[in-house]
Structure 1
Amino acid sequence: MTTEPQRTIAVFGAYGHTGRFVVARLRERGWRPRLCGRDPAKLTQAAAAWPDSETCVARIDDPASLDAALAGCAAVLNCAGPFSDTTAPLIEAALRARIPYLDTAAEQQPVLAAFERYDAAARAAGIAVVPAMAFYGGLGDLLATAAMGDWDRADAVEVAVVLDGWHPTAGTRITGERNTAKRLVIERGALAELPSPPPQRDWAFPPPFGAQAVAAVPMSEIALLSRHLNIGSAMAYLDRGSLRDVRDPLTPAPVAADASGRSAQVFAIEASVRRDGQVRRLGAAGRDIYAVTAPLLVEAMERVLDGRCRGVGVRAAGDVFDAADFLAALAPDPSRLYLSGDPGDE
C-alpha cells in the first residue's frame, strides 16, 4: 500500500440486507464504499440512501465488469450469496487486482473450495483471502480459538447458537434452497459427514435464554476450524426453535426496529473447548445476527489493510487474526456485541 491508503472499498451485494449494514459501517469508519451488484435499479435505489456513493454494475459471469468494479479499490467485501455462485469469480477478480478479499459465507463448500483452489495463488499475489467473516463462520472460529488459548490441541470443540427467533432474509432462503451439499463436522481430526439423524442435546446458555434444546446444524465455522486448529472433533448447534423458524416458509423476513435497520432479534453464541477433562467456554451476545456481521467484517478488513494480520493466502479468522484481541476490540461496539464468559477453566 502507498503512504496514503486508498479509501475506496468495493462491496458486492451492497443492496442486500447484510450489504446495507456493511456499507453503513464502512461509512461510519471513514471508508468510501463502492456499491456493486448486478441489478442497476437496486443499485440506484441503494445509492439514494447515500447520495455521495459510487455505484458499479458488475456480474459474476462478466470478468471485465468485476475488474472495473474493483479498479482503484483497497479491498473487496462479498456480501452476495449464494456464495457457491459468487465466491470463485470474485476471488479471481481480487487476485487479478491484487487486493484483499473477504466474504460472509455461511455455506461450508465454497469456503473449503476457497482454501483448496486459491491459497497458493493468493500467497503468490501477496494478498489475504478471508472467507466466512460473519456471524456464522468467523465469529464461532474466533471464539473457539480464543477459548483454546495456549492449548496446542483439544479433544473437542462445540459451537452453539441461540436466537429468540430467526426471521430469514430472502438471501438466506435462496442459499438454503441451493445448499444441498452434505454438511460436514470434524471427527477423529478430519472432516466427515454429519451423522443422520443430526445429534440433538440440551445447552445451558446464559440468561435470558437458559437451557435450550439444540440440534446439530454445522455451518462454515467447521470449515474454518478444520484449517488451523488441532482438534479431535467439532460440532455446531442451533436452538430448535430457530431451526423451525428458518425452515418454515411462512416465517416473515426481518423487520427494522430502529433507525439503523436492525431488528429486535437477540442472540447468544458460545464456544466450548475440551481437553483431558478440562473445559473452556467463551461466548458473545448481542442483537441482530445480520447487523452484527458488519462490524465483524469491517474490523477484519481494517486489520488486513493495516497489517494487523498474520500473513497472506486463504486464511481462517482465528488463524489470521489475534482472536482474543479481535473480540476485545468489538466488545464495546455500538452493535452491542459483547463478550461473556472467560477463556479460563470452567
Structure 2
Amino acid sequence: MGQGTKRTIGVYGAAGHTGKFVANELRRRGWSPVLVGRDARLHELYPGADVRIAAVDDAAALDRALAGVGLVINCAGPFLETADPIVRAALRAGAHYLDVTAEQPSARAILAQFGNAAAEANVVVSPAFAFYGALADLLTTAAMGDWPKADTVTIAMALDRWWPTPGTRITGKRNTARRIVISDGQPTFVADPPHRRTWDFPAPFEAQEMIELPFSEIVTIAHHVQAREIHSYINLAPLTDIRNPDTPPPRAEDESGRSAQTFAMDVVVEHGNEQRRATAQGRDIYAFSAPLIVEGAERILNGRAKRAGTAAAGELFDAPDFLASLAEHLTVTFR
C-alpha cells in the first residue's frame, strides 16, 4: 500500500511538547516534514521549514495544509476536538493518519467511524500510536504469538514520576468520560472505586501499589485481540504528581530534550493454564512516543502495513519485529 510520490509527512501540533519530539525524530531520520499548527509561532520555532497554519475548525485551511502530504501525524490534543476534523482532512487528501491520543473516547470513535472510508481511500487510520495505546498493543500482540485468543490480558504500567505537559492537563480537565475495560468480552466501566493491587516489576521499580486506570490501550487491544478480560493498571506514585497543580512540566535532561522520567510496562496474557509475559522499559513517555509513531509512519509509507482501513499497531505490523526496531529507545524482554 504505497502513496506513490506523495511521501511527505505532516505533523499537526508541531509546536507542542510531543509534536516537537516527532518533528525532530523525522528530521533525524532524513525527512523534511510539513509542520502544521494553529498559530504563527511555528515560524519562529522552525525557521526555514515548510510551515503551514490551519485551525482544526477551518476545513479549507486544513486542506491547504495537507496538500501533497502522504501521511499526517496528529499531536494536538484534546483529541476529542482535533482527531475527527483532521482525519476527515486526511481522507480528502488521500493521506494516512496517525495520532498519539491517550483518550479512550477519541480512539474508539475514530476506529468505529472511519473504517469504510479509510479502506475505500486505501489509507491507514490508526489512533493512539504512542506510549499509551500502541506500546501495550504491540507487547500484547507479540506475547500472544500463535494464540488465536486469550482468557485475560493484564497491562501494568509504572512511571517513576509524571511531569505533565500543559496539553496533558487540558485534556485531563476536558476528558471526563468514564473509563472502560473489557470484562466478560464486553466494554465495561471501571469499577467505582477502582480495583487496587500490587505488581512486581523488574528493577528499579520492583513492588508497586497499582490502581486500575485504563487509557487508550484498552481500545487498541480490543480492536483486534480476542480476550474475555482486558484490564490496565498504573502505579500510584505518578498520579500524585499529575493531580498536584504545582507539579512542573517536563524538563529536558539531555541534548535530545528528554526528561529523566523512566517507565516500565508489563503485559501478561493468559490462556488456559498457560501464561506469557512481555516487559518493556524506557525513558520519557512523551519523547518515546516520537520514535514509535515515526517508525509506524515510515513503514506505512514504505508499503509495509498489512492492510488499509482503521487499525491498531498490532494489526498493521509484525509486532516482535516492530518492537525490535525500537531497541535504541526500548528494552523488551519476553518470558
* Short-chain TM bin: over 0.9
Aligned position for 1:337: 330
Q: Map Cα deviations across residues 305-326 of structure 1 (whole Å, 9 max, x no partner).
A: 1111111001011111111110
Is the Cα contact below 8 Å between 2:8 and 2:32 reproduced in 1? yes
Aligned position for 1:231: 227
Deviation at 1:52, TM superposition (A): 3.2
Greater displacement, 272-281 / 170-179: 272-281
Q: Does residue 108 in structure 1 map to residue 104 in structure 2? A: yes
Measure, in 2, the Cα distance between the counterparts of 1:162 and 1:198.
Answer: 17
Secondary structure of the 1:290 match is helix
Q: Map Cα deviations across residues 40-99 of structure 1 (whole Å, 9 max, x no partner).
A: 1x212321xxx3311110011000110011101121000000000000000000110011
Secondary structure of the 1:250 match is coil
Measure, in 2, the Cα distance between the counterparts of 1:134 and 1:247.
Answer: 22
The number of residues matched between the two structures is: 334
Measure, in 2, the Cα distance between the counterparts of 1:229 and 1:90.
Answer: 27
Secondary structure of the 1:206 match is coil
Secondary structure of the 1:32 match is coil
Aligned position for 2:76: 80
Measure, in 1, the Cα distance between the counterparts of 2:237 and 2:184.
Answer: 30
Measure, in 2, the Cα distance between the counterparts of 1:305 and 1:117.
Answer: 23
Percent identity among equivalent residues? 50
**Which ranges of structure 1 fall in alignment gaps of 5 or more residues?**
none
Deviation at 1:293, TM superposition (A): 0.2
Deviation at 1:274, TM superposition (A): 0.9
Deviation at 1:283, TM superposition (A): 1.1
Measure, in 2, the Cα distance between the counterparts of 1:196 and 1:62.
Answer: 40
Measure, in 2, the Cα distance between the counterparts of 1:2 and 1:187.
Answer: 39
Measure, in 1, the Cα distance between the counterparts of 2:137 and 2:186.
Answer: 16
Q: Does residue 261 in structure 1 map to residue 257 in structure 2? A: yes
Q: Does residue 24 in structure 1 map to residue 24 in structure 2? A: yes
For 2:136, which of 119, 125, 140 is the aligned residue? 140
What TM-score do the two structures reach when normalised by structure 1? 0.94
Deviation at 1:248, TM superposition (A): 1.2
Question: Which runs of 4 or more aligned residues in structure 1 lie more than 4 Å from their structure 2 counterparts after TM superposition?
Answer: none
Q: Does residue 219 in structure 1 map to residue 215 in structure 2? A: yes
Is the Cα contact below 8 Å between 2:140 and 2:269 reproduced in 1? yes
Is the Cα contact below 8 Å between 2:143 and 2:276 reproduced in 1? yes
Distance 1:2 1:156, change over 3 A: closer
Q: Map Cα deviations across residues 157-189 of structure 1 (whole Å, 9 max, x no partner).
A: 011111111000000000011111110000011
Measure, in 2, the Cα distance between the counterparts of 1:229 and 1:6.
Answer: 32
Is the Cα contact below 8 Å between 2:111 and 2:310 reproduced in 1? yes
Measure, in 2, the Cα distance between the counterparts of 1:44 and 1:194.
Answer: 43
Deviation at 1:8, TM superposition (A): 2.3
Deviation at 1:2, TM superposition (A): 6.4
Measure, in 2, the Cα distance between the counterparts of 1:157 and 1:321.
Answer: 20
The letter of the residue matching 1:39 is D
Q: Map Cα deviations across residues 237-294 of structure 1 (whole Å, 9 max, x no partner).
A: 1110011111111111111101111101111111110111221110111111100000
Measure, in 2, the Cα distance between the counterparts of 1:2 and 1:171.
Answer: 32
For 2:287, which of 284, 288, 291 is the aligned residue? 291
The letter of the residue matching 2:71 is A
For 2:245, which of 249, 252, 259 is the aligned residue? 249
Aligned position for 2:151: 155
Measure, in 1, the Cα distance between the counterparts of 2:187 and 2:319.
Answer: 23
Is the Cα contact below 8 Å between 1:190 and 1:226 reproduced in 2? no
Taking the TM superposition and a 5 Å limit, the aligned residue runs for 1:296-335 are: 296-331=292-327, 333=328
Is the Cα contact below 8 Å between 2:261 and 2:283 reproduced in 1? yes
Cα RMSD of the aligned pairs, angstroms, is 1.1
What TM-score do the two structures reach when normalised by structure 2? 0.97
Measure, in 1, the Cα distance between the counterparts of 2:248 and 2:161.
Answer: 11
Aligned position for 2:45: 46
Is the Cα contact below 8 Å between 2:73 and 2:99 reproduced in 1? yes
Aligned position for 2:200: 204
Deviation at 1:39, TM superposition (A): 1.3
The letter of the residue matching 1:161 is M
Is the Cα contact below 8 Å between 1:8 and 1:73 reproduced in 2? yes
Measure, in 1, the Cα distance between the counterparts of 2:241 and 2:297.
Answer: 32
Secondary structure of the 2:24 match is helix
Is the Cα contact below 8 Å between 1:7 and 1:73 reproduced in 2? yes
Secondary structure of the 1:172 match is helix
Secondary structure of the 1:228 match is coil
Is the Cα contact below 8 Å between 2:111 and 2:126 reproduced in 1? no
Greater displacement, 89-98 / 302-311: 302-311
Is the Cα contact below 8 Å between 2:3 and 2:70 reproduced in 1? no
